[in-house]
Amino acid sequence: MKLFEYQGKEIFSEYNIDIPKGSLVEKKEDLKNINIPFPWVMKAQVLTGGRGKVGGIKFADNMKEAEKNFEELIEIEIKGEKVKKILVEEKLDVEREYYLSFFIERSKREYLMMFSHEGGVDIESMAEKIIKVYVNPLSKIQPYHLRKIPKEVREVAKNLFNLFIQNDCELAEINPLAISNGKTIALDSKIIIDNNALYRHPEISQEDAELTPLEKEARDKKISFVKLDGDIGVIANGAGLTMATLDALNEFNGKGGVFLDLGGTDDPEKVKQAFELMIKAKPKVILLNLFGGITKCDTVARGIIDFMESSKVECPVVARIKGMNEDIAREMLKNYVIAVESFEESARKAVELGG
């Protein structure tokens, strides 16, 4: 689960990581109750990145500017996410900015500390300048790990590591980590907590803001549904097959816009619900990639037909069906979908129709 900046900073304070003086507001009237001297930094609270590039961060030198900024910020959407809260902070004189983070390097089964002498930028563009330090989970962080980074940020790094471990984080990031008036201060926060460990952290508010309305609807129906940036809707059964299908689309320069995992179900009603969700996402084309092991292909086909006969489907549906009762399923669906035999061809056809 992703945390908002203000949530992350609350946790930073608990671990002795300094943050700017700030106040969270939801209404314009709340601005008058803020006891922080101007100038202010006003930051839209969203879970997506890149808000500064689209006007999600503004500065105010007086109350009139602050009220105008609030009205503008509360009206915008950033990558489809509506702004509901604004964090108002003191504007600091910054001497230097660093980047610091910890995350799990699964390929090495270790933790990875990343540090850069340049902060406040897209870290992907700084790959050649990043200092990487691997930390064995058994040894935890030691003084020799910290010798590769400046002395003024070592205590923060140690505290951030403890936060990372004790809160079951997948990522704990400070960008930028600023030096201001001799103090090391976290100007931003990015924390992602392992969903499977949330039961251990009842103190963390689970607002589910990282879920779109469709993802929330899918969750309520116990359907795995994730919205991405592309325009091809993928329905498959099993996480591995779903991810492989997205990779296949990428091979042909296509991009999944939604992926929906049916899991092991062949309940026609559940399949119908899945297609209802997919249509609401408005993809240009739907790619159904079904492998019937335990799942019966003909039962899934019945759910598809029930949906298509009761609803208008304006986009083409490409279907690759393999496994138990596949011949029966293909015969049932021949007037409803574009049937394709091979995995490769199904991806190619979907990209072609979605182009």
Active site residues: 99, 173
d(C-alpha 328, C-alpha 334), whole Å: 10
Q: How many Å apart are CA 205 and CA 201, to the nearest integer?
A: 9
Which residue type occupies 208? D
- Per DSSP, the three-state class of 104 is strand
Q: How far apart are CA 49 and CA 231, in angstroms?
A: 21
Map residue 308 onto helix, strand or coil.
helix
The whole-angstrom separation of Cα 256 and Cα 227 is 9
Q: Are 39 and 59 in contact (CB under 8 A)?
A: yes
Strands 131-135 and 86-90: unpaired
CA distances from 322 to 236, 302, 303 (A): 11, 15, 17
Task: Classify residue 62 by burial, with Cβ atoms within 10 Å: 0-12, 13-18, 19+.
Answer: exposed
Contact assessment for residue 285 and residue 218, using Cβ atoms and an 8 Å cutoff: no
Can you tell me whether residue 50 is helix, strand or coil?
Answer: coil
**Do residues 336 and 305 touch, judged by C-beta distance below 8 A?**
yes
Report which of 263, 17, 36, 24 is spatially closest to residue 162, judged by C-alpha positions. Answer: 17
d(C-alpha 268, C-alpha 110), whole Å: 43
For residue 85, CA distances in Å to 23, 46, 52 come to: 10, 8, 16
**CA neighbours closer than 13 Å in the CB half-sphere of residue 46:** 24
